Amino acid sequence: MTNNLKHTLEESEDCSDTDNNNINNRPSKISKPHHNHHHQGQEMSQKNSSAGIQRYLFAIEYIGTHFSGSQKQLSCRTVVGVLEQAFSKFIGQPVTVSCSSRTDAGVHALSNVCHVDIQRTSKRRPGEVLPPHEPFVVRRAVNHFLQKNDSDLMVIDVRCIPPDFHARFNAKERTYFYRLLSGPEPVSTFEKDRAWHVPEELNLLAMREACKVLVGRHDFSSFRAAGCQATSPVRTLEELSVCEVIPSPNFPSTMDRERLNQDFRGCHSNSETESPPPSSSLSIDKGTTSTEDIGFGKRRQHRCLVVTARARSFLYHQVRLLVGVLKAVGTGNLTIPDVERILNAKTITATSPMAPACGLYLGEVKYDLPN
């Protein structure tokens, strides 16, 4: 393992498991040698077998509600376990899936990334190595087997990569999103296990001020859960921001569509960016929980706030602990000086309760992909 890979491994909490350490663990199948040229035939078959192995990088999306996390476990349903079953059914032999980022039970992914090594062999002539499958074939076939059972996991992209490219060690940056629903109304059936419902009103501007304290390079020991395997609590938080978005998980209303057509802009602000005034377009649907008549059979919407956290790597439960503090600031239970005190305390006992898993989404894993 090179020094760069060691550095990445030490920094990366969300992929600090020990199941994926065999970077070059590639299955192989050796053809039978010709009886007249035993030694030469064996060398040729080994060469063909190695050449027939293709490493694929693939992105997946999943609803984490019914998974016991991403990493494979013997007695639980996990993301990697389900993926390995689908790939094995596709190619007819066991495979090992390596995941870029570990997610806990109940955490969702808009785009997590994995890699797998596949050797394509002939079904008519056992042992004969065939050219690798095209990426679109892999995606279509694996999704076929995934969708035959539960439909809470899907492969969304596939590409061929060199055999030394690793989904975990080559990751340059990870982005997480956290959804909070603010308002007294009960959570919609469509939002169950998809967001953290906070009945109180959240102060968006106060939460943004708290982000300015936490963004950057710090000792995040106060935001590091017990059991963290990272060697250092120091991390560089490239972005920590909060914005308000249209609170629709499925189909936008007429009013939502009108707003979207007005060149609606998001707010991925960092510590260098000024917060927009309260009258800006980011204050959305603040009146939807009022007592005004909205018509029979129509649900009053919550305010939906999204926290964005972006870094090369995170400590164990760091994002959920950060969101817990931001929520406490939003409700008025913590002040900005309190946030500074918690950060400087460098102990988990100083922080607020951790946000639940249901609102957390792994949004993106970035790479410098080879051509």
Look up 104 and say whether it is catalytic. yes
Strand segments (E) across the chain:
53-62, 97-99, 108-119, 153-161, 173-182, 196-198, 216-219, 234-245, 303-311, 360-366
Q: Which residues contact 179 (CB under 8 A, 6 or more apart)?
A: 194, 195, 196, 304, 305, 306, 359, 361
Distance, CA of 215 to CA of 213 (rounded, Å): 6
Distance, CA of 215 to CA of 129 (rounded, Å): 51
> What HEC string does 311-341 produce?
ECCCCCCHHHHHHHHHHHHHHCCCCHHHHHH
Element (H, E) at 209: helix 204-214
Catalytic residue among 14, 19, 104, 164: 104
CA 102 to chain CA centroid, nearest Å? 8
Among residues 1, 16, 356, which one has the least CA distance to residue 174?
16
Q: Give the β-pairing of 108-119 and 360-366.
A: parallel
Ramachandran region, residue 341 (left: φ > 0; alpha: ψ -120 to 50; beta: rest): alpha
Residues catalogued as catalytic: 104
